[in-house]
Structures are given as structure tokens and as C-alpha cells.
Amino acid sequence: MAEPNPSFYPPPSHTVVGTTLEEHILEGMRGAPASTGDFTSLLNAISLAVRIIHSRVRAAGLAGLFGYTGDTNVHGEQVQKLDEFANEVLCTVIERSGRCAVLASEELAEARMCNPDAKYMVAFDPLDGSSNIDVNVSIGTIFSIFRAPDGSVSTASVLRPGRELLAAGYAVYGSATTLVLSTGQGVHEFTLDLNAGEFFLSRPNLRCPSRGKTYSINEGNFPYWTKEIQRWSQFVKSEDKTLGLPMGHRYVGSLVADAHRTLLKGGIFAYPADRKNADGKLRLLYEAQPMAFLIEQAGGLATDGVREILDIVPTDAHAKVPLILGSRDDVNVYKEFLTGKRG
């Protein structure tokens, strides 16, 4: 029998039952002041939604769920049937949990009040990477959890800097369905056991290497970038073995897939501003903030090129921001090109 993969924790063959997502959360909450179980219930609700979305994504082709609904969302983008389904599932499960005061979604024009007495607020991109749905390339769900303000709460309450996040995570619907989560105590990966229908801890304490071998950016936007970003793009493709150049290019076109690879292997992901998207394409509240929280928890960096993502306050639920994240050394080199210190 092949030796168990040492990167799994602990090797599945050496255990009867692994650590479930709920056990991991409860272990992290043990002794936490005033832990009432609401946070665990909310994360369990999100886990349930991810498992439901997983099952539909897997069967989308047979369930006639590929393609478009014919509607366009608040961003003028055509809504894919699976986008709408994923949004409905998350909104329903999170609202029913009774643990959420305000929810914000890429697929909702405005943030939505739920239980005004609840302690938490949730922002999510229900199905990131829609353009890849019909071609069977990895897509994902991204979410983040804030504490609701004491006293009166409104839909604007969710417009907070990422520094205030309590938790963030994403699911990758790939060759396996994995859920990567941080509650502020490191980053941990859970893998869905299809037979048990449960997420089990597969890789705890993920760390982003201080530098990596790949850069991830849509090179098709080269003509629209500033000169500084064009110079950085040419630098990472230049040949200099002492600097480990050229870097390899990897770009899936799903933020979740590109960010997950960058977190695990190191390197840099960049979706900068350009002449087509003056503020970048990715949304601050439910894409950049959760990814920045996770990459920083794993020892990496996340910036808009000048400011750290977690320091930026969203002006509205769908505000966009340039997003550059990954290994500290690689992100700092990018920033040096952007500020003219290099190049």
C-alpha cells in the first residue's frame, strides 16, 4: 500500500476520525470570553451552504445549470444560473441561522438586514470565477465575518476595514472541494469527505512562503497598465538566474484558484488598476478583504500597490480595489516598481 501523503494531517490511514470543521472551531473558541456558540453556528451554516453549492456545481451540466439566467447583476454582468443558485443558498442558510445582522453579496444590489439583534455580519461572493463555470475550471465561494456594532445596526454597518474581520474563508470547487479558513489563529485547510458529507482538517497552519516562483496576472491587459506595471511585468519575465528569474506564469482567471495556489506555493497574484478599470476589477468587501485577511494570517502581504488592503474602508458594498497579494518579498518588489524605486 502506498505510504500516506505526509502533507495530510494526520495521515488519514492513521486515524479513525479526523478533526471536523466544527471541532476545529470549538477548539479555537475554548475559553473565549462570552462564547455562546453563535459564531460556531454561523460557520456551520456557511459550511452547509458550501456543501449544497458543491453538490450543484458537480452536477451542473446534468442539472441544466450551466449558462445564463438572462438577467444582469448590479455590475451589469450576465448572471450565470449557478451564480444565482449559490447566492440564494447562502442568503437562505445564513438568514435562517438567525446569527447574522447584515449580509452583503456580490449578487445583491444592496446589503440586506437580517436579524438586527444578531452579533455578526457576513459578506460573500457566492460563486467567484463565473466565467469558468461552463468550462469546468475551478471556481469558489469567498466569505468574511465581522462583529455587528453594539446598539443600532444598519446595512452601512458592514462597510468596515478588513482589520476588524473576525474570520474569512473560501471554498475551492476543484478536483476536491476544500475550505480554507482563518478565525485569526492561523490558516487551516479542510477537505470535503464526499462519503461522510463532512469537512475534515487536511492541512493546518498553512504558511505562504516568503517568495515564490510564479506570478499570476492577466497579461492580456498589458496595453492598459501603467508604465510602472509594464516594467514590473517585463522584469519578472527577464532572465537573471541570481534573482530566480524568469518567474513562471500561472493564471486561472478565478481569484479563488489563483489566490489559493499563491497562498500555498508562494509568488504573487495581481489584478491592478488599468485604463479599463481605474479602480481595478475586484471588489474590496467580499473579495479583496477576505483574501487579504487570509494571506496576512499565512504570513504574506496584500496591498492595492500603496495601502495595505486591510486598512482600506469600503465606500460602498461593491467598491473596487486593485489587489496584489502573495509572498512578502515578491509583493515588495512589485511595490518598488510601482513607486519608481525600481525599474
Interface contacts to ligand P6P, rule CB under 6 A: 128-131, 218, 253-255, 271, 281
64 vs 220, beta carbon nearer ligand P6P = 220
Beta strands 139-147 and 177-182 are: unpaired
Task: Give least dist CB 230 to ligand P6P, A.
Answer: 17
133 vs 165, beta carbon nearer ligand P6P = 133
Task: Give least dist CB 171 to ligand P6P, A.
Answer: 13
162 vs 272, beta carbon nearer ligand P6P = 272
Locate all alpha helices (DSSP H) within the chain, ordered by sequence: 21-29, 38-59, 81-97, 227-237, 255-265, 289-297, 328-338
**β-sheet bridge partners, residue 190:** 179, 201
Asked whether the CA dihedral 128, 71, 47, 318 is positive or negative, the reply is positive
19 vs 216, beta carbon nearer ligand P6P = 216
* Of 182, 201, 198, 181, nearest in space to 190 by CA: 201
Task: Give least dist CB 85 to ligand P6P, A.
Answer: 17
* Phi, psi (deg, nearest 5) at residue 47: -60, -40
140 vs 266, beta carbon nearer ligand P6P = 140
Residue 230, classed as helix, strand or coil, is helix
The C-alpha atoms of residue 60 and residue 49 are separated, in whole angstroms, by: 16
43 vs 288, beta carbon nearer ligand P6P = 288
Which distant-in-sequence residues (6+ apart) come within 8 Å of 46 by Cβ? Answer: 90, 93, 94, 122, 143, 169
Cβ of 3: how many Cβ atoms within 10 Å?
7
Task: Give least dist CB 138 to ligand P6P, A.
Answer: 10
77 vs 193, beta carbon nearer ligand P6P = 77
Task: Give least dist CB 130 to ligand P6P, A.
Answer: 6
218 vs 226, beta carbon nearer ligand P6P = 218
- For 167-192, letters b (16+ CB in 10 Å) and e give bbbbbbbbeebbbbbbbeeebbbbbb
DSSP 31-68: T-TT--SHHHHHHHHHHHHHHHHHHHHHHTTTTT--SE
Task: Give least dist CB 272 to ligand P6P, A.
Answer: 11
Task: Give least dist CB 256 to ligand P6P, A.
Answer: 7
106 vs 189, beta carbon nearer ligand P6P = 106
| 176 contacts 190 by C-beta, under 8 angstroms | no
The C-alpha atoms of residue 15 and residue 262 are separated, in whole angstroms, by: 30
Task: Give least dist CB 282 to ligand P6P, A.
Answer: 6
* Of 148, 199, 196, nearest in space to 178 by CA: 199
Task: Give least dist CB 257 to ligand P6P, A.
Answer: 8
